[in-house]
């Protein structure tokens, strides 16, 4: 009986072990099945790069309604003066080739503004200055005044002559732009800078744009009704110019021991740079007496910026405009019409006619 009991216990233990083993096996199997997707994700590789060449980029460049095809600044011999110095009192012309895809009637204005940069290429056109510091030329298409093209100058009033009778608007054959729509014109603006058109030496760089100091900057702008605005910029220089245009000859008379006075004389000078004006005199020599003379120290003068008379020292001139007066901005000749000479005649001076050379010296300050 005891042996049967032991066998039963053993069998139960074996059965229990088998059951536990089976349960463990089933649990492990289910776990493996459950966790299989996670194991697969863990085994995936990193995607570092990816390429695709099946797409493309498309860009359409739309030609503007108006376009400046080319431009130039030329002298009377048709030589380009871009980035070169021009002369005062000589005729020049801006030549511009313009096309418009909307037809020429779409063009409203062509403006040419030019200004002395005064040493800064950041400067802009200043219409207030006028005189010898800026210029504004304009072409008006189909103006309200006569329903035709109209040329005019807005600035300056005197220091530039705008030769409207020589300005041209010529139709040109043009193969570019939109077929059947594009119209092309050559415009010619003719002008003559005055004597005091501001001196500008800086034109070392011959590339387009504002890149030279102490030069004249200019901007050509085309404005159309379709709100399209195009422009080009560049520079040019101006040679210096100084001139004594008119010099009056003073004549005085008086008794020994008195101050001789005469009518004021006029001295007209022109200068397109900062300037100074001085005058000096020789000793006065008697017309017939070989030893008689009159020292220049007895001669007095005032005028210009000098409001009080001073006598010559015998060794230095007298300045009527001291160093350095600003180059005139009003576009006019600088006229000193109040130059007055006086002479203190010594009481023992021999009567007769005396004469002496006067030496005016107009000097420009070059930047």
pLDDT of residue 144: 57
* Torsion-angle region of 194 (φ positive above 0: left; ψ -120 to 50: alpha; else: beta): beta
- 66-238 and 242-365 share one CATH topology? yes
Which element (helix H / strand E) includes 175?
A: none
Q: What pTM did the predictor assign? A: 0.77
pLDDT of residue 32: 47
Q: Which residues of the chain have pLDDT under 50?
A: 2-6, 10, 31-36, 38-39
pLDDT of residue 277: 95
* Cα–Cα–Cα angle for 125, 128, 129, rounded to 5 degrees: 80
Enter the tokens of residue 88: 């005062």
d(Cα 334, Cα 364) in Å, to the nearest integer?
14
pLDDT of residue 36: 47
How many C-beta neighbours within 10 Å does residue 135 have? Answer: 24
pLDDT of residue 173: 83
pLDDT of residue 180: 60
- The answer to whether 76 and 193 have CB atoms below 8 angstroms apart is no
d(Cα 297, Cα 283) in Å, to the nearest integer?
8
pLDDT of residue 146: 59
Q: Is the domain covering 242-365 a CATH 1.20.120 domain?
A: no
Enter the tokens of residue 137: 């030329």
CATH code, 66-238: 2.60.40
d(Cα 84, Cα 234) in Å, to the nearest integer?
11
Locate the domains of the chain by residue range: 66-238, 242-365
d(Cα 114, Cα 91) in Å, to the nearest integer?
16
Give residues with Cβ within 8 angstroms of 45, minimum separation 6: none
pLDDT of residue 34: 46
Of residues 281, 279, 286, 324, the one with CA closest to residue 302: 279
pLDDT of residue 248: 92
């Amino acid at each position: 009986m005891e042996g049967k009991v032991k066998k039963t216990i053993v069998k139960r233990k074996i059965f229990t072990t088998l059951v536990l083993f089976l349960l463990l096996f089933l649990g492990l199997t289910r776990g493996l099945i459950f966790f299989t997707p996670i194991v697969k994700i863990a085994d995936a590789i990193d995607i570092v790069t990816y390429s695709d060449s099946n797409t493309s980029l498309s860009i359409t460049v739309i030609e503007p309604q108006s376009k400046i095809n080319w431009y130039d600044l030329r002298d009377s011999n048709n030589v380009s003066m871009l980035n070169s110095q021009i002369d005062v009192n000589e005729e020049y012309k801006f030549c511009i080739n313009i096309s418009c895809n909307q037809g020429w009637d779409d063009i409203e204005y062509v403006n040419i503004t030019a200004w002395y940069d005064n040493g800064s290429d950041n400067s802009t056109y200043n219409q207030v200055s006028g005189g010898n510091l800026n210029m504004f030329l304009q072409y008006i298409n189909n103006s309200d005044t006569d329903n035709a093209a109209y040329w005019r100058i807005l600035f300056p009033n005197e220091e530039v002559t705008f030769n409207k009778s020589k300005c041209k608007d010529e139709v040109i054959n043009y193969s570019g732009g939109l077929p059947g729509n594009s119209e092309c014109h050559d415009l010619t603006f003719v002008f003559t800078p005055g004597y005091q058109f501001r001196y500008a030496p800086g034109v070392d760089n011959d590339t387009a744009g504002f890149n030279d100091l102490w030069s004249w900057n200019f901007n050509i702008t085309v404005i159309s009704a379709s709100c399209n605005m195009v422009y080009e910029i560049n520079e040019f220089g101006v040679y210096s110019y100084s001139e004594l245009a008119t010099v009056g000859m003073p004549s005085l008379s008086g008794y020994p021991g008195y101050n001789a006075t005469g009518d004021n004389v006029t001295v007209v000078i022109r200068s397109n740079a900062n300037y100074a004006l001085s005058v000096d005199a020789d000793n006065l020599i008697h017309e017939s007496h070989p030893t008689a003379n009159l020292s220049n120290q007895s001669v007095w003068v005032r005028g210009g910026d000098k409001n009080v008379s001073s006598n010559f020292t015998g060794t230095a001139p007298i300045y009527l405009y001291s160093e350095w007066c600003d180059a005139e901005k009003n576009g006019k000749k600088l006229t000193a019409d109040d130059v007055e000479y006086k002479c203190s005649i010594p009481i023992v001076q021999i009567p007769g006619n005396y004469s002496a050379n006067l030496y005016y010296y107009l000097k420009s300050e070059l930047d």
